[in-house]
Structure 1
Amino acid sequence: MSLHPSLQTYADAWTHSVEAISELVQPLVEGEWNRRTPCPGWSVRDVVSHVIGMDCEMLGDPRPIHTLPRDLYHVSNEHQRYMEMQVDVRRHHTAPEMTSELEYTIIRRNRQLRNESREPHAKVRGPLGSEITLEQSMRYRAFDVWVHEQDLRTALGRPGNLDSPGAYIVRDDLLAVLPKVVAKEAGAPANSAVVFDVHGPVDFLRTVRVDAEGHGTIDGAVSLGPAATLTLDWETYFRLACGRVTVDSVADRIKTEGDPELAAAILRHFVVTQ
């Protein structure tokens, strides 16, 4: 048997992004590994450590036994502590150690994917000891690795791949939570609509509609007379949603029309990743 067809999209996206990451970091000299990335609290080395660590967990490797320092300002909850463990344990690794472990992990994961015969609904280990499906796990890895590829590109001044396979997985996952952001978090009024007009390498027009009970849904139809319209580029959209930039720092890249208080409330609650 081989990889289930419904998992192939995630495998392809992961492969594309992780190979791009490998290519980006292979020529780096020691000092460049310490550059800050847009991911809060993490350097280039930290981002690559996270990618390695999470894929080692996909391989079933045991988690490191390691005590985190108490002064990590960007670690404030259990989920962040869980993610930080694989990062902090590699903080003193050299550039050759990092690139060789990354390459070895990619080889092992590619072998695992070639031999993967489990069904998409098979249960696997998730963060914090949770159980999730194999499909959820692979989708999460595709999302995560693409966003971190972009973190590295920003830190290293090497833009690109804004419309690669992982970008569309990220787009769909971010759009899936948009109704909650608009209807619940931002408190859009009942029987209203909010339009998101996103342009750039990945472009889309979506309308979030809030019904009489305050529940939100999303579709691609144009809304006449929306309560608010937000127009922005794809890079700003995902960086904002993933907590890589603040609203104030990209205010000149966002155009809003309609109810200014509703638009501001939506942008205040736009971050949806932990």
Structure 2
Amino acid sequence: MSLHPTLQPYADAWTHSIDAISELVSPLVEGEWNRRTPCPGWSVRDVVSHVIGLECEMLGDPRPIHTLPRDLYHVTNEQQRYMEMQVDVRRHHTAPEMTSELEYTVIRRNRQLRNESREPGTMIRGLYGRETALEDLMRNRAFDVWVHEQDLRTALGRPGNLDSPGAHITRDMLLSALPKVVAKDAGAPRSSAIVFDVHGPIEFLRTIRVDINGRGTLESSPALGPAASFALDWETYYRLACGRVTPEAVADRVKTEGDPGLTAAILRHFAVTP
């Protein structure tokens, strides 16, 4: 047996992004590994350490036994502490150590994917020790490595792949979170519609309709007379949704219409990644 057809797009997207990450960091000199990325609190080395660490967990490797420093300002909850463990344990690794571990981890993961024959719904141990469906885990890894590829591209001044396979998976995952952002978190009025018009390498027009019970649903049809509307480019959309920029920092790239209080509330709750 081979990889289930449902899982193949996630494997392909992951491969595309992980290969891009390897290509980006392999020529870096020592000082470039310390460049700041848009991911809060993390350098280039930290982002690559995170990617390596989570891929090792996908392989079933034991998590490191390590005590985190107490002065990490960006670590404020247990979920962040979990993620930081794989990062902090590698903070003093040299450039050759980082690239060699990344290369070896990618080789092992590629072998694992080639031999993967389980059904998409198979429950396996995922992050935080939780039982997770294999399909969900593979989708999340494709999403995660694409976003971190973009973190590295921003830090290194090497833009690209904004329309790659991982970008399309990221779009779908971020859109799936949008009804909650609009209806529950931002408290959009009942029986209203909010429109998002996104242009650039990936283009889409989506409407969030809030029903009489306050529940939001995602639709591809436009809405007449929406309570609010947003027009922005794809790069700004994903960076806002992934917490890489604040609404204030990209105010000139987001055009809003409608109730100012509602548009401000939606932007305030727009970031959906941990």
Alignment partner of 1:5: what SS? coil
Matched, 1:186 2:186: yes
Moved more, 123-132 or 10-19: 123-132
Aligned mates of 2:40, 2:127 — CA distance in 1: 19
Partner SS state of residue 177, structure 1: helix
**1:223 match: secondary structure:** coil
- CA drift of 1:241 comes to 0.5
The residue type paired with residue 230 of structure 2 is: L
Aligned match of 1:229: 229
Q: Deviations over 1:193-228 (max 9, x none)?
A: 000000000110000000111110011101000000
CA drift of 1:189 comes to: 0.6
1:82 lines up with 2:82 in the alignment: yes
Offset at residue 130 of structure 1 (A): 0.8
In 2, the alpha carbon distance for the partners of 1:266 and 1:7 equals 33
Instruction: State yes or no: 1:99 paired with 2:102.
Output: no
Alignment match, 1:245: 245
Letter in 2 for 1:93: H
Q: 1:128: how far off?
A: 1.6
* Corresponding residue of 1:68: 68
Deviation at 1:145, TM superposition (A): 0.1
Range with bigger deviation, 86-95 or 118-127: 118-127
CA–CA distance in structure 2, aligned partners of residues 200 and 180 of structure 1: 25
**What one-letter code is carried by the residue in structure 2 that aligns with 1:92?**
H
What is the CA–CA distance in structure 2 between the aligned matches of 1:134 and 1:212, rounded to whole Å? 36
Shift of 1:49: 0.4
Confirm or deny: 8 A CA contact 1:182 1:216 kept in the other structure.
Answer: yes
- Counterpart residue identity of residue 19, structure 2: E
Q: How far has the Cα of 1:124 moved from its partner?
A: 1.5
Distance 1:124 1:77 in 2: 25
**Structure 1: unaligned runs, 5 residues or longer:** none
* Matching residue of 2:109: 109
After TM superposition, the structure 1 = structure 2 runs for residues 213-228 of structure 1, keeping only pairs within 5 Å, are 213-228=213-228
Shift of 1:129: 1.2
What do residues 74-118 of structure 1 show as CA deviations (whole Å, max 9, x unaligned)?
A: 101111000000000000000000000000001000000000011
Amino acid at match of 1:155: A
Aligned residue for 1:113, secondary structure, equals helix
Indicate the residue corresponding to 1:132 in structure 2: 132
Q: Distance in 1 between matches of 2:44 and 2:211?
A: 44
TM-superposed deviation, 1:121:
1.1
Q: Secondary structure of 2:222's partner?
A: coil
Q: Which residues of 2 match residues 23-34 of structure 1 at below 5 A?
A: 23-34=23-34
- Offset at 1:187? 0.6
Q: Distance in 1 between matches of 2:69 and 2:139?
A: 31
CA distance in structure 2 between the partners assigned to 1:165 and 1:44 by the alignment? 23
Q: Percent identity?
A: 80
Do 1:79 and 1:127's aligned partners in 2 also have CA atoms closer than 8 Å? no
1:264: how far off?
A: 0.7
Deviation at 1:65, TM superposition (A): 0.6
Runs of 4+ in 1 over 6 A off after TM superposition: none
Q: How much has 1:259 moved relative to structure 2?
A: 1.1
Q: In structure 2, what is the Cα distance between the partners aligned to 1:181 and 1:95?
A: 40
Q: C-alpha separation between the residues in 2 aligned to 1:209 and 1:123?
A: 33
Aligned to 2:37: 37
The size of the alignment, in residue pairs, is 274
* In 2: Cα distance, 1:115 partner to 1:128 partner: 25
Amino acid at match of 2:224: L
Contact persistence 1:4–1:120 (CA under 8 A):
yes
Q: Which residue is 2:199 aligned to?
A: 199
Query: Alignment partner of 1:6: what SS?
Result: coil
**Superposed counterparts of 1:130-169, under 5 Å:** 130-169=130-169
> 1:259 — aligned with what?
259
Distance in 2 separating the partners of 1:155 and 1:141: 21
Specify every segment of 5 or more residues in structure 2 that has no aligned partner in the other structure, as ranges: none
